[in-house]
């Protein structure tokens, strides 16, 4: 004798399915899937309106840092950065900075920070054009130009700098924290300049892909765009200048 499971009416079946979906969404909201930055947090993939976070198979934040250090500590690269590449990059960066100075966005009295400065070419360029009070941060220090620091948690007090520059936004695993730290340490009225790639030309150490300028602009909650232009910046194609609000 067969046992037959009675079919539910379509409307009742639909009601039960929708009820289950609503309960699931309340119990596991998508915002909870994005874990806060900590030394023990797992890395999750985030796609936020044009910023795509790369997986790389990270099991923890420490694994992400270790991957970045593979590039920063590479002895062959560091030799190239400090010898063959040094004069050329200092010259090109100084050209970028002189233009900003001519436009009143940087001055010799500015207290300046270079974020993700590697061996300090950007800092050397800033000092070359007269911005003496300049320093860089990177995972590996290189005194006197670069001190040790994580751009997800800058080792500086609030409202410290008049000017901040970076060309390593693509290395940020948490873009919102990268930008948040800039706005925290930048003085009211201070200027931030980012060089980014919109064309997708990044390397294997990049932690995110920026698909358009719009999502990056949205991350700046306390700043306005001053100008934006196309550049040829060592593989990066766009320069965006922000000014932090006075209030």
**pLDDT over 60 at 33, yes or no:** no
- Hey, what CATH class is 53-244 in? alpha beta
Q: Minimum mean pLDDT among 3-7, 107-111, 132-136: which range?
A: 3-7
Contact 183, 212 (CB under 8 A): no
The pLDDT confidence band at residue 9, using thresholds 50, 70 and 90, is low
State the pLDDT confidence band at 47, using cuts at 50, 70 and 90. Answer: very low
How many other CB atoms are there within 10 angstroms of residue 104's CB atom?
8
Instruction: Indicate the burial class of 97 (C-beta count within 10 angstroms; 0-12, 13-18, 19 or more).
Output: buried
Check residues 56 and 16 and name the one with the higher pLDDT. 56
Contact 205, 139 (CB under 8 A): no
Round to whole Å and give the CA distance between 113 and 131: 10
pLDDT of 12-21, one tens digit each? 454 455 444 4
Q: What is the pTM of this model?
A: 0.80
Mean pLDDT of 53-72: 91
**pLDDT value at residue 49:** 64
Quick check: 93 and 121 in contact, CB under 8 A? yes
Please state the domain extents for the chain.
53-244
The CA distances from residue 228 to 66, 148, 189, 234, 241, in Å, are 33, 30, 18, 17, 6
pLDDT, mean over the chain: 85
Q: What was the pLDDT predicted at 40?
A: 36
> CA-to-CA distance for 186 and 179, rounded, in angstroms?
11
**Tens digit of pLDDT for each residue in 198-217?**
976 678 899 999 999 999 99
pLDDT tens-digit series, residues 115-141: 999 999 999 999 999 999 999 999 999
The predicted structure's pLDDT at residue 196? 96
Q: What pLDDT band is residue 57 in, cutting at 50, 70 and 90?
A: confident
Check whether 45 has a pLDDT greater than 80: no
Contacts of 149 (CB under 8 A, 6+ apart): 137, 138, 139, 155, 156
Least confident stretch, 24-33, 63-72, 90-99: 24-33
CA dist., res. 11 & res. 28, Å (int): 26
């Amino acid at each position: 004798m067969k046992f037959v499971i009675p079919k539910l009416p379509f409307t009742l079946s639909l009601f039960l399915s929708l009820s289950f979906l609503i309960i699931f969404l309340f119990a596991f909201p998508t915002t909870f899937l994005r874990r806060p930055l900590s030394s023990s947090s797992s890395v999750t993939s985030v796609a936020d309106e044009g910023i795509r976070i790369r997986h790389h198979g990270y099991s923890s934040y420490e694994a992400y840092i270790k991957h970045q250090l593979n590039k920063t500590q590479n002895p062959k690269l560091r030799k190239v950065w400090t010898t063959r590449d040094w004069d050329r990059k200092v010259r090109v960066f100084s050209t970028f900075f002189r233009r900003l100075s001519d436009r009143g966005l940087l001055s010799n009295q500015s207290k300046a920070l270079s974020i993700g400065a590697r061996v300090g070419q950007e800092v050397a360029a800033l000092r070359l054009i007269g911005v003496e009070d300049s320093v860089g941060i990177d995972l590996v220090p290189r005194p006197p130009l670069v001190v040790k620091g994580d751009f997800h948690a800058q080792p500086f007090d609030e409202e410290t700098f008049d000017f901040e520059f970076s060309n390593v936004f693509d290395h940020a695993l948490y873009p919102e924290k990268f930008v948040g730290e800039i706005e925290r340490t930048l003085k009211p009225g201070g200027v931030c300049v980012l060089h980014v790639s919109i064309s997708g030309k990044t390397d294997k150490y990049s932690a995110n892909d920026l698909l358009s300028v719009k999502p990056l602009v949205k991350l700046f909650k306390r700043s306005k765009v001053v100008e934006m232009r196309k550049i040829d910046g060592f593989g990066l194609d766009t320069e965006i200048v922000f000014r932090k609000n006075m209030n």
